[in-house]
A and B are shown apart, each in its own frame.
Chain A
Amino acid sequence: MNLFDVIGPIMIGPSSSHTAGAVRLGRLALALLGEPVRDADIGLHGSFASTGRGHGTDRALVAGLMGWNTDDSRIPHSFEFAANAGLAFHFETVCLGDDAHPNTVMFALKGKSEGVLRLTGCSVGGGRIKITELNGFPLELTGEFSALITLHHDRPGVIHSVTGVLASRTVNVAEMRVSRRKKGSTAVMVIDVDGSVPQEVVEAVAGLPQIIAVRRLNPVVV
C-alpha cells in the first residue's frame, strides 16, 4: 500500500465503485473485444441495476466502451458521444442470483468488424474491478497488470510454447490462470506480466499452433 491508494484517483463522481469502476469495466471489455464497439447489450445486476442510473453507472460503462479514462469530463454526456460514434447500446436488468457480486455487469458486444464478446465482471470497491467470465470461460482478471490472454485448443504444450515466447523476450510472468470448458476442447489462459507486453510477443503468440485468438491488455487500474 502507498499514498496513492488513499489519495486519488482523480475521477468523475459520484462513486468509486459505481462510476470509476464501471468506466474500467467498460474499458476492459473494449480491450478484450480488440476493436471499436458497434453494438452493446449491457445487463446490470443487483446494486448496479437498482442504483446505477443515479450513480451514472450506465453512462460510465458506455464511456469505458469508448476507451475513456475515469477522469474524463465527457463521462456525463457519454450517451451523446456514443450516438455520434455509431455505438448502439441497450441496458437491461438481469438477475444472477445471490452468489453474484451486487455490482455485476454482463456485456454482449459486437465489434465494427463483426468480432463478438461476452463478458461478466464486477466492481468490488474503491474502483477496483474483477472480470469473472469471458465467452463462457470462468476467469479472473483485475486490470491491475499488463496481461496476455489466449483462446486456444486444449492440447499438451500450448502453455509451454506461449510462456516460451514470453521468456525469449524476457517478459516476466507475475501470475497466470488457465480454464477450459472440457478436456480437449478450447481453453482460455490469462497471463499477468510485469511491465508491458511488446507487440512482437502478441504476433509471435498469434502464430503458434493451436492458438485461436490472442489479446494484449494494458492496466486499466493504476
Chain B
Amino acid sequence: MDKLALLAWIEEAAATGIPFGRYCLQLQATEMEIAQEVLLQRMQEYLSVMRDAIDYGLTGVRSTSGMAGGSGLRLQNWHANEKNENRILGQLTAKAAAYALAANEANAAMGRICAAPTAGSSGVLPAVLFAIAEERTTTQENLALALISAGAIGMVIASRASLSGAEGGCQAECGSAAAMAAGAAVELFGGTPVQVGHAVALALKNLLGLVCDPVAGLVEVPCVKRNAGATMIALLAADMALAGIESVIPVDEVIDAMAAIGHSIPDALRETGQGGLAATPTGLECAERIFGGRNRLNK
C-alpha cells in the first residue's frame, strides 16, 4: 500500500482555502468515481447507526459475559443531577464520555454499530461528534463532513501504520479513533486544516504505546473504558489545536512513530488476551468464570 501523507492533503486544502472536510470530500468522490451527494448520504447512514448505538447503550445493556454494560447510563445519570456538587467534567465532556461508554457497550452487547475505525474503538467518533452536535449548533452536513475528515485521517494512519490491535496494539485502535475524532472536532468548530493536523498529532501522541490486553480476549475490558479515555484525549487535543498549540513533531512522523512502536510491542500485548490486564489475577479469574475451564485454547 502506498504511504499517504496527511500534511500533503492539509497543505493542498489550506492553499485552496477550503475546510479540510470539504477538501477530503472532493478528493474521495473523485477517486471513488461517485457523486459527492452519494458519499455524504452514506455518511448520514453511518451517523444514524452511530446515534442509535449510543441510545442502545444508554438503555444499560450488558454483554453476554456480564463484564461490560451499564456504565454509560451510570455516568449520564451522575451528571443529570443538577444538585450533584461532585461532578468533575463539564457538560460537553461529560456527555461525550457517557456516549463513548454507551456506544462501545452497545458493541459489547452485540448491538448494531458502525466500525470507526474498528468495532473495539467504535465509541469514540460517535461520542465526539454527537456531544458537539448537541451542545453546540451544527448541521447534518457538517457532521457528515467531519466524519469524512475522520475517515481521511484514518486512511493515512492505515497506510503508514495500522488500525488493528492485533498488529499495532490499542494505540492503533483507540489511538487512531482519538486522532480521527480530534481532527473531526476541529473541523466541526471551524478550525483550519493546519489545526486539524496538529489535533491529530496531539491526540495520537497521548496514546502512543498503548497495548491491547483484553481480558478473556473479549472486546469489553478494558476496551469500553478506554473508548471514554480516548474521547477525552480527542477533545483535549482539538481544544489545544484550536487554541493555537502546535505539535513539535509533524503529524506524519507521529504516525510513523506509532508504526515503529507497534512493531516492538510483544505478541502477548497485541490482542491475544495473554498479557497486561488479561494476565492479572482478576483478569484470569474473569476468563475462568466466563469460559468455565472449557473452550480453552487448543494446546
Contacts and interface: CB of A to CB of B under 8 A. Distances in A.
A45 B125 CA distance: 33
A195 interface: no
A4 B151 CA distance: 8
B217 interface: yes
A71 B158 contact: no
Contacts of B31: 2
A54 B119 contact: no
A125 B154 CA distance: 16
Nearest to A77: B110
Given A2-B32, A14-B108, A54 B114 contact: no
Given A15-B120, A125-B164, A7 B112 contact: no
A124 to B, nearest CB: 10
Interface residues of A, number: 42
Contacts of A19: 110, 119
A13 B110 contact: yes
B218 interface: yes
Interface residues of B, number: 56
A14 B218 contact: yes
Contact of A14 (B46, B63, B296): B63
Interface of B: 1, 28, 31-32, 39, 42-43, 45-46, 49, 63-65, 106-120, 122, 147-148, 150-152, 154-155, 158-159, 163-164, 166-167, 180, 216-220, 272-273, 290-291, 295-298
Interface of A: 1-17, 19-20, 45-47, 49-56, 59, 71, 73, 75-76, 93-96, 125-127
20 contacts: A1-B155, A1-B158, A3-B151, A3-B155, A6-B158, A6-B163, A7-B114, A10-B49, A10-B114, A11-B115, A13-B110, A14-B220, A17-B166, A19-B119, A45-B298, A47-B272, A50-B298, A56-B64, A93-B295, A126-B163
